[in-house]
Amino acid sequence: MNRPDRLLAVAALAVLLAGCQTPQSGQTGAPIENRAAAGAAGAGSGASTAGAGGAGVAGTQTPGRAGSAGTSGSGGSAAGAGSALRDPASILSKRSVYFDFDSFVVKDESRPIIEAHGRYLVANRGARMTIQGNTDERGSREYNIALGQKRADAMKRMMTLIGAQESQVETVSFGKEKPRRSGHDETSWAENRRGDIVYSGE
């Protein structure tokens, strides 16, 4: 190969290399930088939007919701319901359920009382009560202890069917040992055939 041809080949090779390099550096430089910048900006704005929005949602709405639920659910309703237990105008202030002679069947007229206390226990899972079963003086001590227990258990069963937890309600029978009235007549006996609801701490 003579010298002019060699110079021509070198010049062509130089042009070829220069032509190949420029687009590559342009393509690798500009698009990558733009993508990185766009990605970083997008990710940054997205993250800040999501972060700020997320923090706003999580930080404001969720705790706010939890706080309000806690206030009305725990403090408010519990305090309100607690005062309802002592309010003579509230059905929750009624604590005695009366039974017919020799029976542990809850009467229809007593159901609203038991249901109200059952709903109270559902709404206040920390509340605990004892149901005390009582009888009149007729019958043996053993028989009346058993009957009083059946009366207390019947009341508890109704409350747990509503949704109260077993652990919230204890039952005990006093039989004929704790009469409300000491007379020996039907009026006194009717007062003594009962189940009494007593809340813990009262």
For 164, left (φ over 0), alpha (ψ -120 to 50), or beta?
beta
Position 83 scores a pLDDT of 78
Structure tokens at 100: 């017919």
Position 77 scores a pLDDT of 46
Position 120 scores a pLDDT of 97
Residues 89-113 as b/e (b if ≥16 CB within 10 A, e otherwise) read eeebeebebbbeeeebebeeebeeb
For 194, left (φ over 0), alpha (ψ -120 to 50), or beta?
beta
Position 198 scores a pLDDT of 98
Q: What is the pLDDT of residues 42-89, one digit of tens each?
A: 444 444 333 333 333 333 333 333 333 333 333 334 455 567 898 999
Low-confidence ranges of the chain (pLDDT < 50): 22-78
Position 43 scores a pLDDT of 42
List C-alpha distances in Å: 72 to 92, 96, 148: 19, 29, 38
pTM above 0.75, yes or no: no
